[in-house]
A and B are shown apart, each in its own frame.
Chain A
Amino acid sequence: MLQIKPILSMLLRSKSSPLLLLLQIILSVAIVANASFIIHERLALMDRDSGVVEQEVFDFTMYSFDPSVDLVQQQHKDLQLIRDLPGVKSATFSSMTPLSGGGWSSSFTIGTSEEDERSAPNSAMYYGDEQMVDTLGVKLIEGRNLRPEEILPTFTDSGVKGIVSKAFADQAFPDESAVGKVIYNGNLGEEAIEIIGVVERLQGAWVNSDNLEYSVIIGVELTNAFMRYLVRAEEGTFTRLKEQIPEVLHKDQKNRVIQNFTTLTEHRTSVYRDHELMASVLSLMVVLLLLITSLGLTGMVMFNIERRTKQIGTRRALGATKRDVVSLFLVENYIICLVGGVVGGLLAIALGQQLMQHYDLPQLEWQYPLATIVGLVIVTTLAVVFPATKAAKISPAIATRSV
């Protein structure tokens, strides 16, 4: 029924136009497969959960420029003032904000003696007080939270308590509970942090880092001239609070600049902006490429069919049904499409390997070329059916008149 042999010989005899179609399909498959793979990979990155209740949390910075102010006392007062505002659920000072692209990190030392001394993975350091866990909204899955009296005014060699993310705990202390263990912020024995709890998930600030999931909350007070605060408030109160907080704090002490109120949602958008940009541009490219390829296919097929009107008429006169004519063109183009698809798929993998070698991109997965070929088959069908049906409608008498 599908006369592949005559179609093949027909294709082989007409030189240029099927070849051009083939070339176009090969290139399209190679580009679309790689582009959609990159898109998928970026979207997967952006989809990761930070562990934080992002819609309720915002941060701001404060710069105190009056040297006569007692920063420690002022900070206690400030935090109380913020926490007393209506709508605020909890608040803390912090060394950094998740997903903000900037912050503190350190590789902690672990071990009990020089023999088993090793480095824990480089992880984000969240200095904060007993409200840090609630402010971020991270879920404590083991151990307990920090208590107010456990927040120390400065880092000392012992007595500091901390909470780590599960990813950190699993990496630093595989096969055993991290609670009760000690990590050192320095050489062995220096600036010990006793782990008292583990949270399910807490990301750091650098979304392109392999160590994004490793975080440590440290119960040590920070009182610098330049400070960052994290606030968790009911949804919808942000616009009011960003006016109210500076007002209340300035009333208490005016020699400081309070600014940069940013929600975590905004931080997320800006930190993933490059990835979103890449994914958008590539999506646009894929859509346009498919559009161009299908338009080109349609144009070529229309031309081919028009040129072969007499042939169609002859076939019809010799007893071919309209369906036969349409399927003839479909099969012809499927052959081109599949050959192009396979070659294009191989090219896509080769191109993917080049990209992987030269740029920091992961290996292309085989599903992407395959999906592209399937997409192309659909596009081909659409591009062929319309002109072929039209051509098959021509009466054999007209089509063969001048033969």
Chain B
Amino acid sequence: MFFYYLDLACRSIKKTPFLSVLMVLAISIGIGITITTLNIYKMASVNPAGERSDKLFAVQLWSQGEDSWDEFNPQITYQDSFNLRRGDIPVRQTPMFRTGGAIQTDNPDLAPILEGVRVTDSDFFSLFSVPFLYGQAWDKSVDQQAKYEVVINADLNQQLFGGENSVGRTLYINRKPYKVVGVVDHWSPKPKYYDVNNGAFNDSEQVFVPFSLTPIEEYQSWGNNQGWKHEDTRTVAAKIVSEQHWLQYWVELKDQHDVELYTAWVRSYIEQQQAPGRFNSPNADVQIMDVADWLIENQVVAEDNKVLVGLSALFLVVCLVNMLGLLLAKFLKRAPEVGVRRAIGASRAQIFSQHMVEVGLIGFCGGIIGLLWAWGALSLLAAKFELEQALTSLDMSMWLVAPTIAISAALVAGIYPAWRVCSTNPSIYLKSQ
């Protein structure tokens, strides 16, 4: 029966080409706009930590004095991060910040390359599940006993060493030699959730060096530095003992029990620090957030995106109302034909489902064409605004989402017209035949 109805639907569509094209156009544009905005929204709000999202927590400290910032800063100070490292409750933990330097190798033909460098502990790699192509992270002992060791990303490995296994080779950061211990296999989570304050959709750093080298090498911060009081922080040595916030701190906690234990432990640390006069605000506290909350807190999804999704949903509603009107026009025009069918024995339910199949078919066509619109719109936006690939590639799920929305929307719009046409009284139309 379904295929017979499908056949009837095709004939009916061919009979009224103008109205049908109009309907398909209306629904496809509605779907196109909705899918475009939904795609950007979805890609921006994707949680790259996956199933580990509720195990990883960003740590924030209210270390500012009274009458300064009235909320937690997303970053913490060097002295706090240094002290928090002593905690033994988290499974893994790491402080980190972004610096940069000129990278060279022993190859004199290679011009120095300026690269962003992440300064962090060895736990970073397992905490964020960083995949390795060659080698591994530096040993845990390096986190205490500083050594000039480095992990690089595959792209840089390609550039510097032609992509071969470079473990054991030497590279120079600001003319200081570092031994390569590991090569990361193309890792760049989007959004860059481990550091959303310095470009949430930027690529990951290509170079990772041990945090323990910070006081020795005096790495300059290449990220946001925020102070709540006037301090001289022009040298790294001064900055290390200052109240400036410029490091991110992440911990991995295995369950809710540990979350509470850890929070309590940090609170006791805050109390200790109050003795020498730090944390003197009445609001002094710790706040830890898992990845999902962290992305929301830092507004990784721009408000503009939400407004756009809302408006495009309304847009889709307009398209549906439009379609409803057109369907009503089309079906009622066919009332005499339906009258004959009813007279020779078709039940109301059969007439109804026949029309719903037709509506579903229109919805399906609209959905497919709408996907093409969305794909075109996204490519256009990507080209014109140099948006990150991460935001404008059509998500695979949309191939399912688009026809589903289109068909169900069309069916909703079709209920009233189909009901109207199946409830017509056949005798009226038979009379004038």
Contacts and interface: CB of A to CB of B under 8 A. Distances in A.
B26 A292 contact: yes
Given A23-B321, A24-B318, A296-B326, A402 B311 contact: no
Interface stretch (B132-140, B204-212, B302-310, B394-402): B302-310
B308 A292 contact: no
B112 A24 contact: no
Nearest to A276: B385
B268 to A, nearest CB: 33
Looking at chain A's contact residues, the main secondary structure is helix
- Secondary structure dominating the interface of B: helix
B325 interface: yes
Contacts of B175: 65-67, 255
Interface in B179-229: 220
Interface in B341-359: none
B325 A296 contact: yes
Contact of B324 (A20, A256, A277, A288): A20
Nearest to A303: B329
Nearest to B417: A16
A138 interface: no
Interface string A16-31: 1100110110011011
Interface in B269-299: none
Nearest to B114: A257
B257 interface: no
Nearest to A191: B230
A257 B416 CA distance: 69
Given A277-B385, A289-B318, A295-B25, A34 B311 contact: yes
A35 B319 CA distance: 17
A320 interface: no
B329 A17 contact: yes
Interface string B397-433: 0000000000000000000100010000000000010
B318 A27 contact: yes
Contacts of A264: none
A293 B322 contact: yes
B365 interface: no
Nearest to A22: B321
A361 B311 CA distance: 14
A53 interface: no
Interface residues of A, number: 57
A55 B366 CA distance: 46
A281 B37 contact: yes
A159 interface: no
Interface string A52-72: 000000000001011100000
Nearest to B322: A296
A8 to B, nearest CB: 20
B22 A21 contact: no
A227 B3 CA distance: 72
Nearest to B36: A281
Interface in B319-333: 319, 321-322, 324-326, 328-330, 332-333
Interface of B: 18-19, 22, 25-26, 29-30, 33, 36-37, 100-102, 112-114, 174-175, 220, 230, 302-304, 306-308, 311-312, 314-315, 317-319, 321-322, 324-326, 328-330, 332-333, 377, 381, 384-387, 416, 420, 432
Given A65-B102, A278-B308, A285-B312, 5 more contacts: A255-B102, A256-B102, A257-B112, A281-B37, A307-B333
Interface of A: 16-17, 20-21, 23-24, 27-28, 30-31, 34-35, 38, 63, 65-67, 186-187, 190, 224-226, 255-257, 259, 270, 273-274, 276-278, 280-282, 284-285, 288-289, 291-293, 295-296, 299-300, 302-304, 306-307, 355, 359-361, 402
16 contacts: A21-B325, A27-B314, A28-B318, A63-B101, A65-B175, A190-B230, A259-B114, A282-B308, A282-B311, A285-B315, A292-B26, A295-B322, A299-B329, A300-B329, A306-B333, A355-B307
